[in-house]
Structure 1
Amino acid sequence: MTGPQVRDYIRTIPDFPREGVMFRDVTTLFADPRGFGLTIDQLVNPYAGHRIDKVVGLEARGFILGGAVAHRLSAGFVPVRKQGKLPGAVIREAYKLEYGEAVMEIHDDALRAGEQVLIVDDLLATGGTAGAGITLCRRLGTQVVGCAFVIDLPDLGGRARIEAMDMQVHTLCAFGGD
């Protein structure tokens, strides 16, 4: 018999932010010490014992997860933020949303060429944000060794998009269109 799984700690809120959307709320996961610990253990496990210099967290829930993962891997933490949120010199990457475009930024001195980087976020949907994060890290000369997510929404195609960038994807659970 197994205990609770990460998926068991995630609340689903129907019709948020608009009708027909099943929102996967990780705040319930973060609020539970056992669930949060289980999540960090499972995000770290594939990378334990490997050289990871920096963990890059994608705004915003990736900051919560990425900080904890970085601590466990004895790595530094670097945020990738939405445009206009970082105070220093940045590089930016635009990516497409369902309707329109968004821009992600990273400080231009946050990573050094040759560093081994792990990208972390809570959710893999279309892969736009993660793809922008990968591109930014690569532009700074790093080797992105993988991307780790709590939730995969496979119906939206993000995994295939990120894997097409020659990237290893690690997820803890998946939710279909239910």
Structure 2
Amino acid sequence: MPDTRAAKALKDYIRTIPDFPKPGIQFRDVTTLFADPRGLRLAVDLMLHPYAGTRIDKVAGLEARGFVLGGAVAHQLGRGFVPIRKAGKLPGAVLSERYTLEYGEAVVEVHDDALQPGERVLLVDDLLATGGTAEAGVRLIERLGAEVASCVFVIDLPALGGRARLEAMGLDVVTLCEFEGD
């Protein structure tokens, strides 16, 4: 995680919406971060910093906010971007991965030719909660023969255990700030 001042500055751009999408949930809304040019620049710069001098061949972003961040990170690295989307959104041949959510199941997909064996991929998203979506994304990347170099998120919700889940898979996990609770 970045230094305390950088994490605090980043958190100041993130809005909390109580009781969304259901009572008791504190939704961490990064659209306010995206809307501010300094906030967005800060987030992208902090996401890039740990990978200076590291071989990254592609950046993969998880739908949907991971597309905004992942596209910006890919641009700054001069690398291609790979979207990992909800089922039924990508044309052509895809690989699918089912995963469990707190309230059911979902499926994410990637084009079957999006990555080449041996490529090193940086997986990007806005928020790490239980880690289910990220784990499904990692599995898709690995099924294509690529390697996850690292996973980077703006927000970590440590109480939900996503970091521990990904680290138990042997993955490097970087988060920029934390919020307590759900």
TM over 0.5: yes
Q: Please name the residue that 2:64 is paired with.
A: 60
Q: Please name the residue that 1:129 is paired with.
A: 133
Assess if the C-alpha contact under 8 Å between 1:48 and 1:73 holds in 2. no
Find the aligned partners of 1:3 and 1:176 in 2 and give their Cα distance. Answer: 14
Instruction: Flag the 1:3–1:46 CA change in 2: closer, same or farther, 3 A.
Output: closer
Assess if the C-alpha contact under 8 Å between 2:8 and 2:177 holds in 1. no
Matched, 1:71 2:63: no
- Of the candidates 104, 110, 113, which is equivalent to residue 109 of structure 1? 113
Find the aligned partners of 1:61 and 1:48 in 2 and give their Cα distance. Answer: 23
Q: CA RMSD in A?
A: 1.5
Matched, 1:18 2:22: yes
**C-alpha displacement at 1:100, in angstroms?**
2.0
1:78 counterpart letter in structure 2: V
Unaligned stretches of 5+ in structure 1?
none
Assess if the C-alpha contact under 8 Å between 1:118 and 1:145 holds in 2. yes
1:152 counterpart letter in structure 2: D
Instruction: Flag the 1:65–1:2 CA change in 2: closer, same or farther, 3 A.
Output: closer
Matched, 1:95 2:99: yes
TM-score by length of 2: 0.94
% identity of equivalent residues: 69
Assess if the C-alpha contact under 8 Å between 1:112 and 1:141 holds in 2. yes
TM-score by length of 1: 0.97
Q: Please name the residue that 1:172 is paired with.
A: 176
1:25 counterpart letter in structure 2: D
Assess if the C-alpha contact under 8 Å between 1:11 and 1:26 holds in 2. yes
**C-alpha displacement at 1:88, in angstroms?**
1.0
Find the aligned partners of 1:54 and 1:7 in 2 and give their Cα distance. Answer: 27
SS at match of 2:28: strand
Runs of 4+ in 1 over 3 A off after TM superposition: 1-4
Instruction: Flag the 1:148–1:3 CA change in 2: closer, same or farther, 3 A.
Output: closer
SS at match of 2:106: strand
Unaligned stretches of 5+ in structure 2?
none
Find the aligned partners of 1:88 and 1:154 in 2 and give their Cα distance. Answer: 37
SS at match of 1:173: strand
